[in-house]
Amino acid sequence: MSRIEFMAGLAGQRIDSLISEQTGQSRSMAAKWCAAGLVTANGRAVQKSHVACEGELIAVDVPEPEPAHAVSEDIPLDIIYEDSDLLVVNKPKGMVVHPAAGNHSGTLVNALLHHCGGSLSGIGGVIRPGIVHRIDKDTAGLLIVAKHDTAHNMLAAQIKDHSFLRRYEAVCRGRLTPESGTINGAIGRHKQNRKRMAILPDGDKTAKPARTDYETLRTGAIKNQTLSHVRLTLHTGRTHQIRVHLAHAGHPVLGDTVYGHNDSLANGQCLFARELGFIHPDGRHMRFEAPLPEWFNYVLKKMV
């Protein structure tokens, strides 16, 4: 960590703007430094909205830059299948797939680099080597990883033409009517909350078509709350697709605090990527199914 010090000039300028001018960094980066307690004015920690006084001594403790690539970490992996072309991995709930802001270690990619060394496709770049598709941090289940670019391209092409099987199981709120069917709705970034996705109106050019088939396996209740155990098949792979579609239909995934309810009926998001089916680069048809994890079965046992 290095320190930058300077005297504020004319009064009336916000501290994040002033730091941006002095350091060449963005105002959003300056705001993050303020939020982390790295900025002081005359020795007192200040937030981004602080208005500088003329002659104030501004000090910024600049953290070391984040690594521009993912690093190898010895993290256990639940590998369902592996050969010289690809792996099928059962990702645990709570693990991020690849490094990003706020998650530079402990990710699936960090673990894959340790397990595979340099044997991962490079199409995803240095931050996402081998990653053909993703699932949310709080969603557990099966992911396919490509060990070289040829395998990556072949698998990605199957995802694009919708011949790649991705089937999930979830517990959601309420009773779906009809019990089986299809949810269609173009998904894009929420207009007010940019951290969320939403079904957007027809004609919105920022939305992408999305289709989810569902089948109710069982309906029950916990604490007088009606719940449904459902199987879901993705025909497209939009960000948060299942969660957005079920919430839009009035049946959010149990434990989904972003699109549903913050309650105690489940320990986290009850959504599991259970099945994958695809054509291997050598031409074989392959299909994998992971057993439901203990935390998922615990919820099912409580449903009466």
Residues catalogued as catalytic: 136
Cα separation, 101 vs 136, in Å, equals 15
Q: Two tokens at 77?
A: 């992996």
Local structure of 17: helix, strand or coil: helix
Tokens for 107?
């990710």
Amino acid at 127: I
Residue with tokens 């939009």: 238
Q: Which two tokens stand for residue 301?
A: 């046992």
DSSP-derived letter for residue 64 is: P
3-state SS, residue 169: strand
Gap between the Cα atoms of 175 and 133, Å rounded? 30
Distance of CA 276 to the CA centre of its chain: 19
Per DSSP bridges, beta strands 140-146 and 271-279 are: parallel
Eight-state DSSP code of residue 262: -
Could you write out the DSSP letters of every residue in 68-100? SS---------EEEE-SSEEEEEEPTT--SS-B
